[in-house]
Structure 1
């Protein structure tokens, strides 16, 4: 009975040594994987730390560049664009850094990609450094241009000061000349007023006291009926006689007034408000102007210098009496003489 049980035990298979070997192999594999994980984690943390330091240095350079650019921001729009690009690159680099950190967190599943991402990040940082160097070079060029502009501005300010000084001197001279001219003009006006009074006084004496000839203000007024028929601009014989007296007075006056006084006798033609339309005259403008010209031409034929005569037509637009009566119409139809300056 005991012999048969011993034989059954010798014929059974022992599994324990194989299980121990398999378990040892599994433990070694786990230890190996943990070792690899720790080594990769160490190198990746070193890589990320180095990139963080590089980003900090880049941030410091960008801050320094921004402080320099703020001094000349108004005239450096192109440089501002480059700084904006640089900041965009920094944002992109920071995004890459964040992505690398996320890769670090998920190292077990993406360890191989971490190295390539770190290489791309290094290239991006190198590119940003080159952009920063170009930006600094452009800042230096802009500083030189600003210095040149400031020198030009200083030269312009000096020229402006000199010009203002000359302008002040000129204004002083002009003011002095203006005062002297005003005095001279006032003297000439006074002289012309004196000659006008004498001339009107002499005309009053020559022409006598007539109701159709009167003085209104600074004008000698003749009613049109003295010289012209209604609607006509041909001088009447009795009008010629009156103009002969006027011409004689003008010739004598021209001998008395100094040559330097630029005087003229203005002959103004006026009509009443009633419109005219004839084959010869289409409007009161034409009639009043033709009458004034007829008087001037007659005075020239009697020896008055044409340089001392002016003919003007006012039609019905300068009435003496605005009433719609025959008497008002008669008063407004007139020839006025005014001794004035040229």
Structure 2
């Protein structure tokens, strides 16, 4: 007998229709959840941004509040300062007004005093006008007397120096400096000595004669005097004199005594020694030493 072929058994249907429905529902749920999650994420991000914005606004609000508070404090300080300045201004204005009143009173008082002084000045002017002529005459006489005194001795000094220079014929070692007629010591004295040489004696005799001729015309009211000043150099003295003080003084005295012997009144003579302390040349050379050793004559008033 032929074997019957059987169809394989497939059993009952394993994928019923509700499975598809459940799958669809699950997908819908997952999609909804996905949408929810995405929305939640976006919402969280938006909320975070808003939170940051709110925090920034709160910070700005706090800063603005502090600034407003500072402005209020500054405004209060300025108000206090303005009030104090206003008070000071009012006080200064009151003081100024008081000073103006006081000044006006003082000006009024001064006007009265000026008016009174003007009255006295007019009276004094009238009295002084009577003495103007006498005052003018006295002033002229005084000026004439002062002029005569001022130029008197100067005139005779110039005449004395001019005559003496003319007589000496511009001799070397003799010159005029300002109000002084100067002889170098070598023209009158040997080195280190106060004994006048013969040539020096002739020079002093010539000077004495010229002095007598000029001073004969000087009025007795002019108290003239011929000062003889002895000067030395800074070199040590190796003679009988202890030092340059003694040497310079002794030379001046020698010249004065010779002038007296030649008829010049001793009342019009003075001898002075300056040692080395009035040099005309501060150099340490033989030429400078020679210039500093000198006898000076000054015709002046006592």
**Superposition TM-score, scaled by structure 1 size:** 0.46
Cα distance change on mapping 1:311 and 1:178 into 2, 3 Å? farther
The aligned counterpart of 2:178 is 217
* Post-superposition CA distance 1:50-92 (Å, at most 9, x none): xxxxxxxxxxxxxxxxxxxxxxxxxxxxxxxxxxxxxxxxxxx
The aligned counterpart of 1:320 is 280
| Cα distance in 1 between the residues matched to 2:168 and 2:216 | 21
The aligned counterpart of 1:12 is none
SS at structure 1 position matched to 2:162: helix
| Cα distance in 2 between the residues matched to 1:334 and 1:180 | 42
* Contact 2:173–2:184 (Cα < 8 Å) also in 1: yes
184-193 vs 319-328, which moves further: 184-193
The aligned counterpart of 1:266 is 227
Question: After the TM superposition, which segments of 4 or more aligned residues of structure 1 sit over 4 Å from their partners?
Answer: 177-183
Shift of 1:253: 1.5
- State yes or no: 1:241 paired with 2:216: no
Cα distance change on mapping 1:262 and 1:182 into 2, 3 Å? farther
Shift of 1:209: 1.1
- State yes or no: 1:226 paired with 2:187: yes
* Contact 2:156–2:215 (Cα < 8 Å) also in 1: no
The aligned counterpart of 1:289 is 249
Cα distance change on mapping 1:180 and 1:283 into 2, 3 Å? farther
Unaligned runs of 5+ in 1: 1-176
The aligned counterpart of 1:208 is 169
Cα distance change on mapping 1:178 and 1:245 into 2, 3 Å? same
| Cα distance in 2 between the residues matched to 1:178 and 1:235 | 51
| Cα distance in 2 between the residues matched to 1:335 and 1:327 | 16
Shift of 1:254: 2.0
Shift of 1:319: 0.5
Shift of 1:181: 6.9
- State yes or no: 1:302 paired with 2:266: no
* Post-superposition CA distance 1:17-69 (Å, at most 9, x none): xxxxxxxxxxxxxxxxxxxxxxxxxxxxxxxxxxxxxxxxxxxxxxxxxxxxx
Number of paired residues? 166
| Cα distance in 2 between the residues matched to 1:281 and 1:203 | 31
Cα distance change on mapping 1:178 and 1:339 into 2, 3 Å? farther
Name the structure, 1 or 2, with higher relative contact order (CA <8 Å, separation 6+).
Answer: 2
| Cα distance in 2 between the residues matched to 1:240 and 1:318 | 25
Unaligned runs of 5+ in 2: 1-137
Cα distance change on mapping 1:291 and 1:185 into 2, 3 Å? farther
> What does 1:93-108 align with in structure 2 at a 5 Å threshold?
none
Cα distance change on mapping 1:324 and 1:187 into 2, 3 Å? same
| Cα distance in 2 between the residues matched to 1:179 and 1:315 | 46
* Post-superposition CA distance 1:259-302 (Å, at most 9, x none): 11000110000001112253x31111110000000000001001
Larger radius of gyration: 2
Shift of 1:321: 0.5
SS at structure 1 position matched to 2:235: coil
* Post-superposition CA distance 1:168-216 (Å, at most 9, x none): xxxxxxxxx9998786444312111111111100001111112200001
**Superposition TM-score, scaled by structure 2 size:** 0.52
